[in-house]
Chains A and B, each alone.
Chain A
Amino acid sequence: MIQPVQALRSHGQRKSFSVMLKVWRQAGPTADGYLETFRVGDVNPDMSFLEMLDRLNERLILEGKDPVAFDHDCREGICGTCGVMINGLAHGPLKNTATCQLRMRSFKDGDTLVLEPFRAAAFPVVKDLVVDRSSLDRIQQAGGYISANVGGAQDANAILVPKKQADVAMHSAACIGCGACVAACKNASAALFTGAKVNHLASLPQGQAERKERAVNMVARMDLEGFGACTNTNECQAACPANISIQDISKLNREYFWASLTSQD
């Protein structure tokens, strides 16, 4: 535990330092990639990892060089846009955080950081550290919804959902869709991502009507997009910034198995 006094005084007094970056550069989807080395100095421990990359890019632009392309948007860990492999770890060394939430205090002077895109057959590289994750959207489109038109809903309290059950649904629904689970998996499986949505909706009374079709269709789409199979290495759970549990994968398997055996179609 951090002592309050020290924490306050340490701000603004911590020394800046420098890191060495080896960054994956790739001009386009079909171009060959390579690692380019940069030294970034004047790194402040309170700076975010992405602010460190901003600083590098400002320098590259002034030198007339192509800045490093990387995805980012909300910079507070909720939109799921950012995602970089840092020394082989999806979203870097800090547990359960997105790349944008990582502060440079997680590193020390002289560290070498190898930055690569989230790699998967289903995530083609767009440029440098940016990948195309539209395959995840297509999995959602295959069944990640409850068919309810605007206008017909009954009073929100008409169907009771016990707190425990609502909490289970919320836990799965918290997925931010960043794709770190895929990048961390040696099989590039999207089982955690798919399982999270299937279980979110299967946990709620409103999700029962389409429960079977949902599981079957989403898994079929996942396979079609070229994601690999799950072999229970648990890397996805370790990399997930939203704390999605691998229980969602075992539940997905159960949902899929049950639906395949009992479906009327």
Chain B
Amino acid sequence: MRDIKTFKLSIVSNMATVAQRILDSRVPDGSIEKKWDKRIFDVKLVNPANKRKYEIIVVGTGLAGASAAASLAELGYRVKVFCIQDSPRRAHSIAAQGGINAAKNYQNDGDSVWRLFYDTVKGGDYRSREANVYRLAQISTRIIDHCVALGVPFAREYGGTLANRSFGGAQVSRTFYARGQTGQQLLLGAYSAMNRQIYAGKVKSFPKREMLDLITLDGVARGIVCRNLTTGQFETHVGHAVVLATGGYGNVFYLSTNAKSCNVTAAWRCHRRGAYFANPCYTQIHPTCIPASGDYQSKLTLMSESLRNDGRVWVPKAKDDDRPPHDVPEADRDYFLERRYPSFGNLVPRDVASRAAKERCDAGYGVGPTGNAVYLDFRDAIKRDGEKTVRGKYGNLFQMYEEITADDPYHTPMRIYPAVHYTMGGLWVDYNLQSTIPGLFVLGEANFSDHGANRLGASALMQGLADGYFVIPYTLGDHLARAKFPSVSEDHPACKEALVESRNRIERLLGVNGTQTVDSFHRALGKIMWDKCGMERTASGLQQAIDEIRGLREEFWSDVKVIGTEGSFNQNLEHAGRVADFLEFGELLCFDALQRNESCGGHFRGEYQTPEGEALRDDENYAYVAAWEFNGVGNEATLHKESLTFEDVPLATRSYK
């Protein structure tokens, strides 16, 4: 194990030897409006009669995975789809509440593909790939059309047209929604499309399978190793391409709004096999979560940021003002978002809202028993629109809040605090969504491409479905039509090697037989990440974090206690494998945050801020994607850069004032 001094040196040497390999993003030439059309025309097609000869492995059944599985099967490919949940319908996309953006301009308020593109590039703090974002905005309208055709019950106006709401980071009303359960309804739509293909025999579903490794042959992705979580048996599956849609890595922080089973394992295993990991330090903190109530807290609950449409965020003007909110007169309230950002007010993007709340709490103005909360107050909205209207818009969110806190938000302002919610980083992909391993495609939150350093609200659902319904059906065929496929069966040495490695790792976890639980390690890692690599980061804090993570990882492998056996249903063992990978991945996340000497979007470095406390980007030196190549556990990763150019949305300082 390298000590911290050598490690610091290695960062310096690393910075000096970056960009060994030019990353080719394979963005088509031509004007931005024509790039996607050009690519669709340029891709090689697979003869319809030949499609059934190809078997595609799809890992993950959230919006991206389920929509990919359905659309690929509709084209005629044979698809095997895998998920860790007991049903594909339970993937964590289901928990998305607020909505999905689309540039329909149904409200006649000046929206357009160009504006959605512009807002997303700006919202991403100029760290996304322009061409990908434009394509996303272009596709957005077709997603809504298709979802309606599938029977997604979007909210409607009395006349029968689709309803819209506005969302953070935008001044137009372009968000489509289904109560506060938009993710659920879109996922059930994709799940139903996939079910149709399962019934037709074109998709084979493998629930309760955890992907533990990627099988590559001559550097091309050809299959996966997974463990059947019900029986504990290992399986290898081979095919002609692997589509990874396994979501984000927010649970590296332990407390996040992610579901408990969300993890980085599948992506990390691909990274270890050669897929570059891009921008892991771009993590999104969501401003409207319910604050933690005690040390037993197992996860945090998000409330849709659509609440900020009508709720007003405030803290008392005086420090340690412990009067109940009702007794604080208007003159003693600091509506700090409206004060600092008069034109966007409570609708500033998530990162801006989160940091502003933390700033108030750190300065001693926080409310509630822990002091780590700010008020989100609906008093004025109820006065203006009536309780019935507010109930119609947010009824289920208010009910959820009351169930958790025992406070009634119709009469007492909500208390909110930021929490880790979404991760913009992910496996590096080119314009075709192919990773640095040919044949491995990465979709949805698991890739890095569209949101830059910060994702706008209601854009995750849009991206997941764009990738699955409308991008992968075209780009996957290009790979299949061009690549050579030497025959491979499950007893091929490459399969056996990956299988043995996965099995050894599981046996190693069970063999430690130490004294500390998996969960205690996960909490310890989460605390390091949140304290030193959370909403605000500094070079010295990050160096400490890297040191501490290395120590914790060593301790894990010498003192973790995992109960039970390999060949059985064993939730403790599942968790152990995921935490083991988080302990490797967390180090890379901090390392990435350390090399990025600027603040942008979800990455805020204390050293780089304006006198007013706003993020200070360094476009001259950091307008690039950091894509990391794995060099072994404990060895520094190699940095490869994809430089970003902004031809259509000129670089500007993001301002929401």
**A–B pairs, 12, beta carbons within 8 Å:** A4-B326, A7-B412, A8-B324, A28-B569, A50-B298, A75-B260, A150-B67, A156-B148, A162-B156, A170-B178, A174-B184, A200-B153
Is A261 positioned at the interface, with any CB of B under 8 Å from its CB? no
Q: Which of A8, A48, A105, A157 contacts B161 (CB 8 A)?
A: A157
Select from chain B the residue with minimum beta-carbon distance to A1.
B408
Is B406 positioned at the interface, with any CB of A under 8 Å from its CB? yes
Q: Is the CB of A166 within 8 A of B153?
A: yes
How many angstroms from the CA of A77 to the CA of B301 in the assembled complex?
10
Given A64-B563, A79-B95, are A71 and B149 also a contact pair (CB < 8 Å)? no
Q: Is the CB of A142 within 8 A of B199?
A: yes
Q: Is the CB of A77 within 8 A of B572?
A: no
Total A-B contacts with CB atoms under 8 angstroms apart: 250
A153-188 with Cβ < 8 A to chain B: 153-157, 159-163, 166, 169-170, 173-174, 176-177
CB neighbours of A144 from chain B (8 A): 192, 195
Q: How many residues of B contact A (CB 8 A)?
A: 91
B253-286 with Cβ < 8 A to chain A: 259-261
**Complex interface bits, B397-410 against A, C-beta within 8 A gives 1, otherwise 0:** 00010011111100
Select from chain B the residue with minimum beta-carbon distance to A143.
B199
Q: How many residues of A contact B (CB 8 A)?
A: 87
Is A206 positioned at the interface, with any CB of B under 8 Å from its CB? yes
CB neighbours of B298 from chain A (8 A): 48, 50-51, 54, 75
CB neighbours of A174 from chain B (8 A): 179, 181, 184
B182-204 with Cβ < 8 A to chain A: 184-185, 188, 191-193, 195-196, 198-199
B512-542 with Cβ < 8 A to chain A: 515, 517-520
Q: Is the CB of B158 within 8 A of A163?
A: yes
Q: Is the CB of B198 within 8 A of A141?
A: yes
Query: Interface SS of chain A: helix, strand, loop or mixed?
Result: loop
Q: How far is the CB of B307 from the nearest CB of chain A, in Å?
A: 15
Other A-B pairs, 5, CB within 8 Å; known A146-B151, A206-B150: A51-B297, A81-B86, A137-B205, A149-B74, A177-B87
Is A22 positioned at the interface, with any CB of B under 8 Å from its CB? no
Pick the most buried of A73, A133, A155: most chain B CB atoms within 10 A of its CB: A73
Q: Is the CB of B191 within 8 A of A105?
A: no
How many angstroms from the CA of A75 to the CA of B159 in the assembled complex?
37
B74-132 with Cβ < 8 A to chain A: 74, 85-90, 92, 94-95, 104, 106
Is A67 positioned at the interface, with any CB of B under 8 Å from its CB? yes
A1-40 with Cβ < 8 A to chain B: 1-2, 4-5, 7-8, 10-12, 28
Q: How far is the CB of A96 from the nearest CB of chain B, in Å?
A: 9
Q: Which of B157, B470, B572 contacts A61 (CB 8 A)?
A: B572
Q: Is the CB of A154 within 8 A of B145?
A: yes
How many angstroms from the CA of A141 to the CA of B200 in the assembled complex?
9
CB neighbours of A245 from chain B (8 A): none
Q: Is the CB of A12 within 8 A of B151?
A: no
